[in-house]
């Protein structure tokens, strides 16, 4: 890649940013037309340059092309987009040029120093800083006038809140997503929530492999802690590459299937959309956006009332339940479920071949979904579910039970729920989804370990056993610590929120606070009524909810020490 091309990239990006952000419509159109022309010339010129370089290396053409497979893929996408949208092609060109530009920068002395400092960071700090950087980048983009329908841009407070919600895949909103943001703003939200869901740590590890071809030890530890190490080998570069490939393909395939199903429902009349999206292009965008949002547990919807319009539509509800459930399992569980050798013999033999984490996640999900459905149906039969048919009540009860654990979509008005339902909703939102999943909360496995520890204590046993396995004490202590610290964080922020938002009901603030920490995104309708202080508090809480449990688990593991001495035993009365 000629370094002069990076200079061209900088000029193109600067022109496009200026045009999108600060110029009136007529001048903007002229600049963007010129930018699109330059982008087309770059695509044609760089394609010719690659072909010329390849023809000079006929002896190792296959190796030459394989080493540039990512750039060639981006180039192919750019060529395809040229026939549909020059503006989209411009974004594609900027994408692959940015990738190459970053590679060149990392080869400089400053880039090498930055890589060295990055490798010296602990996994917990890397994770926290990565999410903070993603929030910052998204906030800057939402400040552009081109991000909002009114052409004024998002206010700083609302931009930070929206990006914290998208990065943590929460879904709490202070502005109606479908009517307030333009396609540019919605694109930013889509990319940020996709990135936040997959996990900065996996993307950072993949970037390290693509650029440097080797894996620092810190990143290996981080992926092992996330649960990948027990189902895939991440101790080598090749193992990590396979992991990254599996995660990426799994995400795109599941989201793609979900989008295709929703599009088929629209095309066959089973899922009517508003006039704004009642076209092939509009429906396709609606389906892709909601499929990504559902699998990522983001909860962002282009509909003002989420999915209330389809409360009795089994096709739409089942598709969303499937996407949400698969996202809640976590990538280690999905990888374990995809191993074909498991499915030989009887059901009992298949069950025993699953990893212990897979069995815990599957059983916990089944119990929580079933119990939640029955409780929601019982307490809300004549309240939030009033007016629905019996099928609609069952359908809505199951959907709410599934979405409570971090998804954020709803098919009934959450503001109508009764006090008993609010209590179990808070518990479900606090528990959340599985480790290394697209959801949040303290995690289902953490809650299961705590319950099993209480069970062992009541039986007078020292060992905590699950499915014929004894859990290490370190996992038990870590789980109890996560639950207690998470509860303390929620309590602290609840006090701050109630002290500053006295004009709002206490029960609604409890729901809102736990929803933010659990990165759920469900609301009783008070998010838009928060003042600036309340929005900033919940933005910080959403950030803690996304990185907090995982960062705490990593930090505890990093500080594990073994002492050569032990104090004498002491006893005291408790309880």
Q: Is the dihedral of CA 160, 161, 163, 168 positive or negative?
A: positive
What is the per-residue pLDDT for 210?
Answer: 46
The 3-class SS string of 402-431 reads HHCCCCCCCCCCHHHCCHHHHHHHHHHHHH
The dihedral over CA atoms of 299, 300, 304, 308, expressed in degrees to the nearest 10, equals -30
In whole angstroms, give the CA distance from residue 456 to residue 453: 5
Minimal CA–CA distance to 212: which of 112, 346, 312?
Answer: 112
Question: DSSP per residue over 332-367, as a string?
Answer: HHHHHHT-GGGSSS-HHHHHHHS-HHHHHHHHHHHH
Q: What pLDDT, in 10s, does the model give residues 196-214?
A: 777 655 655 554 444 444 4
In whole angstroms, give the CA distance from residue 297 to residue 530: 23
Is the pTM above the cut of 0.85?
A: no
Place of tokens 């705490």: 552
Question: In tens digits, what is the pLDDT along the chain, a chain of 575 residues?
Answer: 455 555 555 565 566 555 555 555 566 566 656 665 665 666 666 666 666 666 665 556 666 666 666 666 666 665 555 555 555 555 555 555 566 666 666 666 766 676 666 555 555 666 677 788 888 888 888 887 778 888 778 888 899 999 988 888 888 888 888 889 988 788 889 888 888 777 655 655 554 444 444 455 555 555 555 555 555 555 566 666 677 777 778 888 999 999 999 999 999 988 989 888 888 988 999 999 999 999 988 889 998 888 998 999 999 999 999 999 998 888 888 888 888 778 888 888 888 888 888 899 999 999 999 999 999 999 999 988 988 999 999 999 999 999 998 888 999 999 899 999 999 999 999 998 888 788 888 889 889 999 999 988 888 888 888 888 888 888 888 888 889 888 999 999 999 999 999 888 999 999 999 999 988 888 888 888 898 899 999 999 998 887 766 665 555 555 555 566 677 877 777 66
In whole angstroms, give the CA distance from residue 546 to residue 442: 10
Q: What pLDDT, in 10s, does the model give residues 400-437?
A: 999 998 888 999 999 899 999 999 999 999 998 888 78
Minimal CA–CA distance to 70: which of 99, 90, 112?
Answer: 99
Minimal CA–CA distance to 141: which of 194, 192, 193?
Answer: 192
Tallying the residues shown for the chain, one arrives at 575
Give the distance from CA 137 to its chain's centroid: 16
Q: What pLDDT, in 10s, does the model give residues 249-270?
A: 888 899 999 999 999 999 998 8
Place of tokens 């990254």: 244
Q: Compute the mean pLDDT over every residue in the chain, rounded to the nearest whole number.
A: 78
Contact status, residue 545 vs residue 516, Cβ threshold 8 Å: yes
Helix (H) / strand (E) element for 2: namely none
What is the per-residue pLDDT for 75?
Answer: 60
In whole angstroms, give the CA distance from residue 570 to residue 575: 16
Q: What percent of the chain has pLDDT over 90?
A: 26
């Amino acid at each position: 890649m000629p370094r002069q091309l990076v200079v061209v990239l900088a000029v193109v990006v600067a022109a496009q940013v200026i045009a999108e952000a600060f110029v009136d419509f007529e001048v903007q159109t002229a600049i963007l037309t010129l930018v699109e022309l330059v982008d087309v010339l770059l695509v044609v010129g760089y394609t010719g340059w690659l072909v010329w370089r390849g023809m000079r290396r006929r002896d190792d053409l296959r190796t030459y092309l394989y080493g540039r497979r990512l750039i060639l893929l981006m180039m192919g996408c750019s060529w395809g987009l040229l026939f549909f949208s020059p503006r989209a092609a411009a974004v594609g060109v900027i994408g692959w040029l940015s990738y190459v530009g970053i590679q060149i920068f990392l080869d400089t002395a400053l880039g090498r120093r930055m890589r060295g400092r990055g490798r010296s960071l602990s996994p917990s700090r890397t994770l926290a800083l990565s999410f903070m950087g993603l929030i910052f980048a998204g906030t800057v983009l939402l400040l552009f006038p081109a991000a909002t329908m009114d052409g004024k841009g998002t206010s700083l407070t609302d931009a930070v809140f929206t990006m914290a919600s998208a990065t943590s895949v929460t879904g709490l909103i202070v502005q109606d997503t479908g009517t307030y943001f333009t396609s540019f703003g919605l694109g930013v939200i889509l990319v940020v929530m996709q990135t936040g869901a997959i996990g900065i740590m996996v993307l950072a590890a993949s970037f390290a492999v693509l650029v440097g071809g080797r894996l620092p030890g810190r990143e290996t530890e981080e992926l092992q802690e996330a649960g990948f190490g027990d189902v895939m080998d991440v101790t080598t570069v090749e193992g990590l590459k396979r992991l990254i490939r599996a995660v990426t393909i799994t995400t795109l395939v599941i989201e793609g299937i979900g989008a295709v199903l929703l599009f088929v429902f629209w095309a066959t009349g089973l899922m009517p959309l508003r006039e704004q999206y009642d076209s092939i292009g509009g429906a396709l965008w609606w389906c892709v956006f909601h499929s990504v949002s559902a699998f990522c547990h983001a909860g962002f919807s282009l509909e003002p009332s989420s999915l209330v319009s389809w409360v009795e539509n089994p096709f739409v509800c089942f598709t969303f339940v499937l996407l949400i459930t698969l996202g809640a399992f976590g990538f280690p569980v999905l990888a374990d479920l995809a191993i074909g050798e498991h499915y030989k013999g009887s059901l009992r033999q298949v069950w025993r071949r699953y990893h212990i984490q897979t069995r815990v996640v599957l059983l916990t999900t089944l119990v929580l979904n079933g119990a939640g459905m029955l409780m929601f149906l019982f307490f809300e039969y004549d309240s939030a579910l009033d007016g629905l048919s019996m099928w609609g009540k069952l359908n809505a009860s199951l959907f709410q039970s599934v979405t409570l654990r971090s998804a954020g979509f709803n098919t009934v008005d959450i503001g109508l729920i009764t006090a008993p339902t609010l209590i179990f909703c808070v518990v479900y939102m606090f528990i959340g989804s599985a480790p290394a999943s697209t959801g949040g909360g303290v995690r289902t496995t953490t809650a299961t370990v705590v319950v099993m520890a209480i069970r062992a204590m009541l039986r007078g046993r020292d060992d905590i056993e699950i499915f014929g396995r004894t859990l290490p004490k370190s996992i038990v202590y870590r789980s109890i610590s996560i639950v207690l610290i998470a509860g303390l964080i929620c309590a602290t922020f609840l006090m701050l929120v109630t002290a500053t938002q006295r004009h709002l009901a206490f029960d609604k603030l409890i729901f809102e606070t736990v929803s933010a920490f659990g990165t759920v995104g469900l609301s009783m309708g008070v998010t838009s009524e928060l003042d600036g202080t309340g929005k900033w508090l919940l933005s910080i809480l959403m950030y803690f909810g996304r990185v907090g449990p995982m960062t705490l688990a990593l930090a505890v593991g990093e500080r594990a020490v073994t002492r050569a001495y032990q104090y004498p035993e002491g006893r005291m009365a408790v309880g």
